[in-house]
């Protein structure tokens, strides 16, 4: 596993955006899984700007949304659906057939999970997976205690996620379950990058790197990935001993 520490959020985001762009240049039909949230926001914005400036052709790429709050409508500005469309899919002018996100309102979540697994398998697997890390060490909605070997699944949200998750919403919302790609997807991805910025992530980044690998800190899974990377800014790295 590689650890890359960048000076600040801007530099971190530029580097990650550049890696996504390069992935699509190297393999135009790349399958990219993208997280939503505060951490990847600038990466998405910079990627869209770079792609426009450099005229990169995204028309053959596929984008997969990492997760979603079950029951939250797609037009809610706090939904992952809204985030990905607003910050990434629309600016990159991706066609409907190029993007796959979980339907938060599905009557059949198990089928939605099976369908997502099938799409990823049909497309030949994920080339590049960019994920954030929760304050409790979750990746996507793979909450503490989750098995490392799951594909897409529905999960009861951890108390920390329910509390912290309110930050995305204009008004308080009841959050109880998530639908998410599994950590097996991360392990199977050809390249996986965990990104984090800010001093508030310093503690969980320390644990992700130094604790025993295990599902009490799901993000420790990245250390099992043979092409895994942790990309953080100096504030998120501030508890690490150099």
Binding site residues, ligand PGA, CB under 6 A: 37-39, 132-134
Contact 174, 104 (CB under 8 A): no
Dihedral of CA atoms 75, 102, 225, 239 in degrees, nearest 10, equals: 30
- Closer to ligand PGA at the Cβ: 38 or 90? 38
Q: State in angstroms the smallest separation of the CB of 107 from ligand PGA.
A: 27
Least Å from the CB of residue 38 to ligand PGA: 3
3-state secondary structure (DSSP) of residue 176: coil
Main-chain phi, psi angles of 104, to 5 degrees: -65, -20
The catalytic position among 76, 127, 136, 197 is 136
Quick check: is 149 catalytic?
no
The string of DSSP letters for 39-79 reads HHHHHHHHHHHHHHHHT---TT-EEEE-EEETT--TTSTTS
Q: Would residue 138 show up in a list of annotated catalytic residues for this protein? A: yes
**Which of 113, 131 has the CB closer to ligand PGA?**
131
Report in angstroms how near the CB of residue 31 gets to ligand PGA at its nearest: 20
Q: Nearer to ligand PGA by C-beta: 39 or 62?
A: 39
The token pair at 139 is 């990746």
Tokens encoding 66: 């990492």
The answer to whether residue 136 is catalytic is yes
Q: Which is nearer to ligand PGA, 120 or 196 (CB)?
A: 196
Catalytic residue among 68, 76, 85, 138: 138
Residue 26 annotated among the catalytic residues of the structure: no
> What is the greatest pairwise CA distance in the chain?
49
State which residue, 42 or 94, has the beta carbon closest to ligand PGA.
42
Least CB distance from residue 195 to ligand PGA, whole Å?
A: 8
Query: Are the C-beta atoms of 128 and 189 separated by less than 8 Å?
Result: yes
**Which strand (E) or helix (H) includes residue 6?**
strand 2-6
**Residue from 85, 127, 142, 143 carrying the catalytic annotation:** 143
Question: Closest approach of Cβ 179 to ligand PGA, in Å?
Answer: 14
For the annotated catalytic residues, the residue numbers are 67, 136, 138, 143
């Amino acid at each position: 596993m590689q650890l890359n520490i960048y000076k600040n959020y801007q530099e971190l985001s530029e580097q990650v955006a550049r890696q996504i762009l390069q992935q699509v240049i190297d393999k135009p039909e790349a399958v990219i899984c993208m997280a939503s949230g505060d951490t990847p926001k600038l990466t998405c914005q910079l990627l869209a700007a770079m792609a426009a400036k450099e005229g990169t052709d995204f028309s053959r790429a596929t984008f997969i949304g990492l997760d979603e709050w079950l029951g939250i409508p797609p037009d809610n500005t706090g939904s992952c659906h809204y985030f990905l469309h607003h910050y990434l899919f629309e600016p990159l002018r991706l066609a409907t057939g190029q993007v796959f996100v979980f339907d938060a309102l599905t009557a059949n979540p198990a089928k939605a999970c099976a369908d997502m697994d099938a799409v990823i398998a049909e497309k030949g697997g994920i080339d590049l997976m960019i994920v954030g890390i929760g304050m409790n060490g979750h990746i996507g909605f793979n909450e503490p205690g989750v098995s490392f070997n799951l594909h897409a699944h529905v999960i009861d949200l951890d108390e920390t996620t329910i509390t912290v998750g309110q930050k995305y919403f204009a008004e308080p919302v009841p959050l109880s379950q998530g639908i998410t790609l599994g950590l097996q997807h991360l392990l199977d991805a050809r390249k996986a990058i965990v990104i984090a910025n800010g001093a508030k992530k310093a503690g969980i980044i320390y644990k992700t790197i130094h604790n025993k690998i295990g599902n009490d800190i799901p993000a420790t899974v990245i250390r099992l990935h043979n092409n895994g990377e942790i990309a953080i800014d100096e504030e998120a790295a501030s508890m690490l001993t150099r």
